[in-house]
A and B are shown apart, each in its own frame.
Chain A
């Protein structure tokens, strides 16, 4: 089979990564989509820290929302386990001196491996933003902040950009 190539308008994979700090039980992440491209989420990799006590399992619930219209893709926030394979939770860690990436709050997590997963295929329209609501149990009573959980959640949305070919802005109908 001969494959025709279109370098400018071919669909291509794109990974969105963002870290959120749990300052309150409910936090939001926004992923702005490129103009002229639809986006299909295929997998969600999520990892959060559990202090030093791995037996504690905080419940992380997520919900996907179309930011433009406010339309929710689920009826209510559900556990990450129900819609994607989460990474095994990591243990928070204070970075060594002079970290090169202070955007990550200078905190890294344990390199626990990813698990097997199924593709989700959740489409989002162009000119929109993916709003991800994350809610979890927050414990801040420990004097050592590293023991509070979950302090951070790393979210990686893996998917593909699909070019919008009938945009009126392109002069096509």
Chain B
């Protein structure tokens, strides 16, 4: 506390920095129909690049009935905007997402995981004007949904960076 009081708070500089780089959460949410594969997308707009720091997510575990059988039916493969794979294969969502399983209105007897907030570190720069893509396969004969949050920093200042080829004019 004393340290804070001993330093002058330069509001001008802080506001300038906050306007150029600020915390942002990109949401990817989708429903995958029964026994199909569907790519989910989260758009990184042309506002600036998105420097992802970590991710959290949840998904439903429904089977025909519909009934919540607590089984992880979804597998996903993450790609960046240039189509570069960030996973080698389709990984079950329960292995890389926390808190994970969530309750769905289709079967309220199911239990959510009630896990603590344990974000999975995923430090990666997604370039502006692209889509973060997660190709998801649903092994169940009933539609399942998922939501993934990419927590990170919007880097608006990068727009003016001459070192970034795609932003040159």
A17 close to chain B: CB less than 8 A: yes
A5 touches B164 (CB 8 A): yes
How far, in Å, is A100 (CB) from chain B's closest CB? 5
Interface residues on B, range: 35 or more
CB of A75, distance to nearest CB on chain B (Å): 28
Interface string of B144-169 (1 = CB under 8 A from A): 00000000000101100101100000
Determine if A170 is an interface residue (Cβ-Cβ < 8 Å).
Answer: no
Interface size class of A (residues with CB under 8 A): 35 or more
The reply to whether the CB of A169 lies closer than 8 angstroms to some CB of chain B is no
Q: Which of B98, B120, B137, B163 contacts A100 (CB 8 A)?
A: B137
Contacts of A115 in B (CB 8 A): 118
Chain A 1-39, CB within 8 Å of chain B: the 1/0 string?
A: 011110100101111111000000000000100000000
Q: How far is the CB of B11 from chain A (nearest CB, A)?
A: 19
Question: Contact: A111 with B86, CB < 8 Å?
Answer: no
Decide: B94 and A113 in contact? CB cutoff 8 A.
yes
How many whole Å from B30's CB to the nearest CB in chain A?
15
Q: Which residues between 77 and 132 of chain A lie within 8 Å of chain B, taking CB atoms? A: 87, 90, 93, 95-101, 103-104, 106, 108-117, 119
Is A4 within 8 A of B163, CB to CB? Answer: yes
User: Which of A15, A103, A117 makes the CB contact (< 8 A) with B86?
Assistant: A15
The answer to whether the Cβ of A158 comes within 8 Å of any Cβ in the partner chain is yes
Query: Is residue B92 within 8 Å, beta carbon to beta carbon, of the partner chain?
Result: yes
Q: In the complex the two chains form, is A17's CB within 8 Å of B138's CB? A: no
CA A5 to CA B36, docked complex, whole Å:
37
Q: Closest 8 interchain pairs by CB?
A: A17-B91, A113-B115, A111-B72, A113-B113, A111-B94, A111-B101, A99-B139, A96-B141
Given A10-B125, A109-B71, A114-B97, 10 new contacts (CB under 8 A): A12-B124, A15-B87, A17-B89, A95-B140, A97-B35, A100-B139, A103-B89, A108-B139, A109-B92, A116-B118
